[in-house]
Amino acid sequence: MNAINRNGHDHARDDTAQLPVRARARNLYAYASPNPGNGPAQTPPILPVLARSPRERALRRCLRRLLWAVPVTAGLWLVLTGGGPDSLAFGIPAIALAGALAFATTPATRWRIAPVAAFRFAGWFALQSVLGATDVARRAFRLHLALAPGFCRFPTRLPQGAPRIFFANAISLLPGTLSAEIEGASVIVHSLDLRRNTHAELAALEWRVAALFALAPGTQDSVSHTGGAP
Amino acid sequence: MIIFELVAALAIMAGAGFFIAGTVGLVRFPDTFCRLHALTKADGLGLALICLGAALLAGSAGEIARLVLIWLLVALSAATCAHLVARHARADGQAHREDTSQRETRR
């Protein structure tokens, strides 16, 4: 399954490489602009008559963030305390404070997650992190350390913000790679074994992260919306 | 019930094994960056297995939810911490070549 996806990825890359640069940019980054062109991320306004000002859009974004933050923090509090009535004396102010914080800090860019791709990613990622851990454990117990460590630079096409940070964090749990720095649009990756084909593995991960955030051109999941969770 | 306990014991023992592997890596690997590999990956899986074993033995849904929460928060922070330590080590100019050469002279 892995090999098929990797091939599919390569194929998709070749396709986009033949497009003119502008078309390629629109394909990948249509969701990122505040007014997407023909991208799949565009949602038709409910009331087309009332055009939203940027200020109103920002306010709506804050409200959406608030609607997401309060149930999550309330859920966390209930899990941690067991939901006793006396714990709510501290819990309700704490939840209100968390909501206010979420209201005060607006995300730099909106992003969303494709649910089907998220499940696919979670399964693949769980397997990869087990492989990563067994790989490093085996190396630690080897009599002679079979290491060829070093750094390599991976230029990513993922946009700034959540997708790129998620990508950098996921790198650290894959077998043999660790993200050491994000420099502009490239991630500096430390590899335990430079003899491996690190670049191809990172490209496969990049493609999966793009699908997870509904960025890859032509993925079926990009149709479904989760309403821009922050 | 006895099967649950058996699986839980196996998971916890495997988790402890991964923690030991992570520590062995921490001691044996030549430089900061390689050591971070051992810590983030092996210890991460070790904690996941121990949480799984403990969840199998847990008495209530609340306990399981807390274990899942612990695992989730540690897993989230581990990769970020490793990234920050690696970035700092790089900014410090801690070249891995120096460390490996030191290790080889020591042997």
Does the pLDDT at position B69 exceed 80?
yes
Rounded Cα distance, A7 and A13, in Å? 10
What is the band of A193 on the pLDDT scale with cuts at 50, 70, 90?
Answer: confident
Q: Kindly report the nearest CA distance between residue A48 and chain B, in angstroms.
A: 41
Contact B25 A136 (CB under 8 A): yes
Mean pLDDT throughout B39-64? 91
The residue of A129, A152, A178 whose CB has the most chain B CBs within 10 angstroms, and thus the best one to mutate to test that interface, is A178
Contact B33 A178 (CB under 8 A): yes
Q: Kindly report the nearest CA distance between residue A37 and chain B, in angstroms.
A: 35
Does the pLDDT at position B57 exceed 50?
yes
Chain A residues close to B100, C-beta within 8 Å: 149
Contact B83 A168 (CB under 8 A): yes
What DSSP letter does each residue of B2-15 carry, written as one string?
Answer: HHHHHHHHHHHHHH
Does the pLDDT at position A34 exceed 90?
no
Chain A residues close to B62, C-beta within 8 Å: 79, 82
pTM of the full predicted structure? 0.69
Establish if A148 touches chain B: CB-CB under 8 angstroms: no
Instruction: Give the model's pLDDT for residue A24.
Output: 42
Rounded Cα distance, A99 and A81, in Å? 19
The residue of B52, B69, B83, B104 whose CB has the most chain A CBs within 10 angstroms, and thus the best one to mutate to test that interface, is B83
What is the band of A106 on the pLDDT scale with cuts at 50, 70, 90?
Answer: low
Does the pLDDT at position A197 exceed 50?
yes
> Is the CB of residue A192 less than 8 Å from the CB of residue A139?
yes
Distance between start and end Cα atoms, chain A = 31
Contact A80 B80 (CB under 8 A): no
Closest chain B residue to A192, measured at CA: B34
Instruction: Give the model's pLDDT for residue B15.
Output: 95
In this structure, the dihedral spanned by the alpha carbons of residues A164, A165, A168 and A169, taken in order and rounded to 10 degrees, is -140
Closest chain B residue to A179, measured at CA: B83
Contact B33 A130 (CB under 8 A): no
Does the pLDDT at position B47 exceed 50?
yes
Contact A173 B79 (CB under 8 A): yes
Closest Cβ–Cβ partner in B36, B62, B83 for A169: B83
Rounded Cα distance, B103 and B107, in Å? 6
Instruction: Give the model's pLDDT for residue B13.
Output: 96
Mean pLDDT throughout A180-191? 89
pLDDT tens figures, A122-181: 999 999 999 999 999 999 998 887 788 889 899 988 888 888 889 999 998 888 899 988
Instruction: Give the model's pLDDT for residue A20.
Output: 43
Chain A residues close to B28, C-beta within 8 Å: 140, 145
Instruction: Give the model's pLDDT for residue B84.
Output: 92
Contact A192 B34 (CB under 8 A): yes
**Percentage above 90 pLDDT, chain A:** 17
Kindly report which listed range (A97-106, A141-150, B71-80) carries the lowest average pLDDT score: A97-106
What is the band of B2 on the pLDDT scale with cuts at 50, 70, 90?
Answer: confident
Kindly report which listed range (A102-111, A122-131, B26-35, B72-81) carries the lowest average pLDDT score: A102-111
In this structure, the dihedral spanned by the alpha carbons of residues A183, A189, A194 and A200, taken in order and rounded to 10 degrees, is -90
Instruction: Give the model's pLDDT for residue A222.
Output: 36
Chain B residues close to A180, C-beta within 8 Å: 33, 83, 86-87, 89-90
Kindly report which listed range (A65-74, A103-112, A195-204, B41-50) carries the lowest average pLDDT score: A103-112
Does the pLDDT at position B44 exceed 60?
yes
Chain A residues close to B37, C-beta within 8 Å: 136, 176, 178, 190, 192
**Percentage above 70 pLDDT, chain A:** 69
What count of CB pairs under 8 Å joins A to B? 106
pLDDT tens figures, A53-72: 777 877 777 777 777 788 88
DSSP label at residue A148: B
What is chain A's mean pLDDT, rounded? 73
Does the pLDDT at position A19 exceed 70?
no
Q: Select the more confidently predicted residue: B23 or A52.
A: B23
For residue A162, give the nearest of A12, A31, A71, A22 by alpha carbon. Answer: A31
